[in-house]
A = this chain, B = another copy of it.
Amino acid sequence: MKIEITAKDISTRARSGKVKTSHGEFETPAFMPVGTQATVKTLSNDELKGCGVQILLSNAYHLYLRPGADIIRNAGGLHRFMNWDRPILTDSGGFQVFSLAVLRKVTDEGVEFQSHIDGSKHFLTPRSMLEFQTALGSDIMMVLDECVHYPCEHGMAKRAVKRTLEWARLSKTAFADTGPGPNREQHLFGIVQGASYEDLRKECAEELVGMDFDGYALGGLAVGEPREITSEITDFTVSLLPEDKPRYLMGVGEPRDILEAVSHGIDMFDCVVPTRNGRNGTAFTSEGRFSVRTAVNSSDLSPIEEGCGCYACRNHTRSYIRHLFNTDEILGLKLVSLHNIYFYQRLMRGIRQAIKEGKFTEYKNERMEKWTHRLQDR
């Protein structure tokens, strides 16, 4: 797997390009909506495509627990199970094991945990999660890594990096051992850990690059640290990664975080922010975000955002959507989620366009100013 860079910004590291998979290509910088349980909450595949979504993320941890490998294998892989014919990236489950599961026990071999759903015991290894993702047939698989919390002492972060590197090697070996999955060609990304320590990020990045992965993710960021640290570590880490491979900043983020990370050379993003906010009635717009639930929208006959081409904005008023939230109607959750996903895809198109036209910094500053301003008003 390579990323074909088609445009580069002059004053930042921002770049735009394309990544090919056997389920078609996606343009970068790309935002992947999160289909945690093989569905992007409230939205159908047609609606996602209508929003311009080119690649989805799904969570191996959740799929491993429900419906499990057998049912997805029986369907012929995750694409066919959920009937999504565009690229899918699956994470390895690492992050969820470290954030959701209970009674974790991490050893050099893997991680034992109890399901957050029914308390059942499981043992995940780099190999088992690689094999599970092979069964899923994801276009891009992630290695199992050890995630640490923020803040994290240097010693603990160093041990997690050591284990992450060892697991990356084991994943690479397992990947070489498995035949191709049900969906033809698959790719494997390494994950750079190292918390907020440059020496650890450097060690981790260099070792992983030596193993030659199809792409590189930055893990353990946007986990509670100040935005300046996210930005600094992203910038530092990207400088250690090869130009010709995709770079993926895991779990990021809000629109302004994406703009910032793009300027450091990140190509791929995923985050539950647009859908989770959609379900609680918070809508993103070019002018900032607002809650459709507030009484001020009761009689407002304007759409969520003037000029937005999404289904919600073309068809419904704030007044109606506010009523739907007020009466706990599911259509409300769907309409704002859909708008937010559309907004994110529009943002990414805007970013790509700006990079192509050599206007990325202008585009970024203009938006940042509005959003920072609005955030102070909240």
Contacts and interface: CB of A to CB of B under 8 A. Distances in A.
Interface of A: 37-39, 41-46, 62, 66-67, 70-71, 74-75, 81-83, 298-299, 301, 311, 315-317, 319-320, 323-324, 326-327, 329-331, 333-335
Given A44-B311, A67-B298, A311-B44, A39 B329 contact: yes
B330 A67 contact: no
Contact of A46 (B71, B311, B319, B327): B311
A329 B317 CA distance: 26
Given A323-B71, A334-B44, A83 B315 contact: yes
B330 A333 contact: yes
Contacts of A315: 44-46, 83
B299 A71 contact: yes
Nearest to A301: B75
A234 B261 CA distance: 68
B74 A299 contact: yes
B83 A323 contact: no
A320 B74 CA distance: 11
A331 B83 contact: no
Contact of A329 (B41, B323, B324): B41
Contact of A327 (B37, B44, B317): B37
Given A46-B311, A75-B301, A83-B316, A66 B327 contact: yes
A286 B299 CA distance: 44
Nearest to A81: B320
A82 B311 contact: no
Contact of A39 (B66, B301, B324): B324
Contact of A299 (B37, B39, B70): B70
Nearest to A279: B330
A174 B356 CA distance: 65
B42 A331 contact: yes
A329 B71 contact: no
A333 B239 CA distance: 47
Given A45-B315, A319-B75, A334 B329 contact: no
A124 to B, nearest CB: 19
Nearest to A47: B44
Contacts of A323: 37-38, 66-67, 71, 81
Nearest to A317: B75
Nearest to A337: B330
A83 B41 contact: no
Interface core residue of A74, A317, A327 (most chain B CB under 10 Å): A327
Contacts of A319: 67, 71, 74-75, 81
A81 B317 CA distance: 8
Closest 3 CB pairs of A and B: A67-B323, A37-B327, A74-B299
A378 to B, nearest CB: 26
A83 B37 contact: no
A75 B44 contact: no
Nearest to A83: B315
Given A82-B320, A83-B315, A330 B42 contact: yes
Nearest to A66: B327
Contacts of A38: 320, 323
